[in-house]
Structure 1
Amino acid sequence: MTDRTFTLNTGAKIPALGLGTWQSAPGEVAAAVEYAVTHGYRLVDGAYCYGNEEEVGQGLKAAFAKGIKREDVFVVSKVWATYTTRVEEGLDKSLKSLGLDYVDLFLVHWPLLMNPNGNDDRFPKLPNGERDIIWDYKHPETWRQMEAVLATGKTKAIGVSNYSKKYLEELLPVAKVVPAVNQIENHPALPQQEIVDLCREKGIHVMAYSPFGSTGGPLFTAEPIVEIAAKYNVKPATILLSYHLARGATVLAKSVTADRIDANKTVVDLDAEDLKKLNDYSDQLTKEGKLQRFVYPPFGVPFGFPDKP
């Protein structure tokens, strides 16, 4: 799977498989990145919010020292919610941690603003413990700054993350540059088809995170996934990754162990019957109101997702 790519609306190629680094423990990230990049992975996804970009940078540096070329690795970072009114500053912080002159893709992590002058750089809180959010913030204002940093060359492309259909429809009429990517939680238990369809219509590439559901892989035991895995004599993880390839999306697989990083490179070409079985499963969950979103920080902001309006 590591040699498969898609073409962004910028004309650039983006790998179909990437290494995710969210929640990777300190002391493990650098080695995981180095191993993945020297064993075929060509996309590494990170973010300032994850608090481990310095280690990601160490892993990249080690891989480059072994002969991997910088231009052959697609590096993603994101501007965090405390920096959405000072995008270039946020990007500069990430570049410094990563030890890079540019990233290949820079995303708006979430469409909100948390207090940039609050009591914490990443997660400012009010005295009552709630997130310190600036409620009159308008998310298209951040996009103007994203377009400005694109012009600096510090990122090769810009995009969004966790944008619903509603938020995309608010952004697109005022955007001079159409987002190259929308990174969303995506798997058969959360197909987010209305977002995927709009992105396809507008030429926005979908990048799927949490393809296994969450830590521990709760989707590994879902009946249709188990059935299709048995058909191909592969593990459920392979089917969940292959699902995105069949949908034309890039998928992020997070792991810090060499065996799993290698295993996640394996995919199968799902046929029409397989996809129908998975889509029927998604449709049934939708009908029953049992869609499962595993990543939803307690912002208290109505982001307009169909399962969490």
Structure 2
Amino acid sequence: MELDLQSTVKLNNGVRMPRLGLGVFRAPRGEVTRAAVSAALAAGYRHIDTARIYGNERDVGLAVRESGLPREEIFVTTKLWNEDQGHDSTLRACERSLKDLGLEYVDLYLVHWPVPGRRLESWRALEQLLSDGKCRAIGVSNFLEHHLDELLGRAKVVPAVNQVEQHPFLYQPSLLRYCADKGIAVEAYSPLTKGLRLGDPRVVELARKHGKSPAQVLIRWCLQHDMVVIPKSVHEARIRENASVFDFTLSPEEMRRLDGLNENLYTGWDPTDVP
């Protein structure tokens, strides 16, 4: 699979989504986030992922608008937070996010968490937002198979994306197969394990072999599993490093070795026990 920084995946509604993006989870609001997004766009990124709960939508939107790039060239994702779930409150939350971003639409709007008793009404609202042109695609985040089963039993629109934590230390092939079978693209967040496993000797060994950093190996692993991936950094050098993953390939044996590192390591939220 020949990939570069401009490579995209075609979502189930025909929208093209860049395979590599910048995540801004916990990026401080203000100049830090604005500078990180500006650096990413200058480096060739065309995909920025934020969320209402991150508190930095304004800064993301400002950097996008100041970039000088045509709006249609930048793929912007934001997410519906838990306390805003429900039909009418979801519609209001999306309007607030658009106002803060300073954008007329987002490219992808996600239900951030499978809140019991509210997620189906939230999804109904996302379908309306899609129809109204407030977003180009809709999806979910942190949904496992049983959450998706419930949703697909009621949904008029199949989610375009499921954004979940994925890396070799949290490898869920059954979820990946499920999403592939349903035409749902998988997007990996926290692909660098929030730094917890970057020093793992097995990853370090592969990185040395390829003349790359451990972070680049983990990002490449996601790409070769056909995932969209959104590593987070606020440092320009790291942002550029994280994009320099298209000039090497992990062999099938190396991929199998990385797959074998799974230890069900959730570095953030674990939705396993959410009914």
Give TM-score scaled by structure 1 length.
0.83
Asked if the contact 2:85/2:118 (under 8 Å) is kept, the reply is no
Q: Distance in 2 between matches of 1:224 and 1:242?
A: 15
> What amino acid does structure 1 have at the position aligned with 2:239?
I
Structure 2 gaps, min length 5? none
1:44 to 39, 42, 48: 48
Deviates more, 1:268-277 or 1:173-182: 268-277
Equivalent position of 2:216 in the other structure:
238
Q: Distance in 2 between matches of 1:140 and 1:264?
A: 36
Q: Distance in 1 between matches of 2:201 and 2:132?
A: 49
2:267 to 286, 294, 309: 294
Deviation of 1:138 (Å): 4.1
Deviation of 1:270 (Å): 1.4
Deviation of 1:281 (Å): 2.0
Q: Distance in 2 between matches of 1:151 and 1:224?
A: 47
Asked if the contact 1:182/1:205 (under 8 Å) is kept, the reply is yes
1:60-75 to 2 correspondences below 5 Å: 60-64=64-68, 68-75=69-76
1:229 to 198, 203, 207: 207
Equivalent position of 1:127 in the other structure:
none
1:134-149 to 2 correspondences below 5 Å: 137-149=117-129
Query: Is 1:82–2:83 an aligned residue pair?
Result: yes
Equivalent position of 1:59 in the other structure:
63
Give TM-score scaled by structure 2 length.
0.93
Question: Given the superposition, is the C-alpha separation of residues 56 and 138 from structure 1 closer, same or farther in structure 2, using an over 3 Å criterion?
Answer: closer
- For residues 142-185 of structure 1, the C-alpha deviation after alignment (integer angstroms, 9 at most, x for no partner) is 11111111100010000000001110111111111000000001
Query: Is 1:261–2:262 an aligned residue pair?
Result: no
Cα RMSD (Å): 1.5
1:113-152 to 2 correspondences below 5 Å: 137-152=117-132
Deviation of 1:273 (Å): 1.1
Q: Distance in 2 between matches of 1:101 and 1:140?
A: 25
Q: Distance in 2 between matches of 1:72 and 1:260?
A: 23
Asked if the contact 1:80/1:110 (under 8 Å) is kept, the reply is yes
> What amino acid does structure 2 have at the position aligned with 1:148?
Q
Equivalent position of 2:166 in the other structure:
186
Equivalent position of 2:147 in the other structure:
167
Equivalent position of 2:190 in the other structure:
210
1:15-26 to 2 correspondences below 5 Å: 15-26=18-29
Q: Distance in 2 between matches of 1:5 and 1:270?
A: 20
Deviation of 1:302 (Å): 2.9
Equivalent position of 1:281 in the other structure:
261
- For residues 40-69 of structure 1, the C-alpha deviation after alignment (integer angstroms, 9 at most, x for no partner) is 0000000111111111111111113xxx11
Asked if the contact 1:164/1:303 (under 8 Å) is kept, the reply is no
**Alignment: residue pair count:** 267
Asked if the contact 1:208/1:249 (under 8 Å) is kept, the reply is yes
Identical amino acids, percent of aligned pairs: 39
Q: Distance in 2 between matches of 1:261 and 1:248?
A: 21
Structure 1 runs (4+) greater than 6 angstroms displaced: none
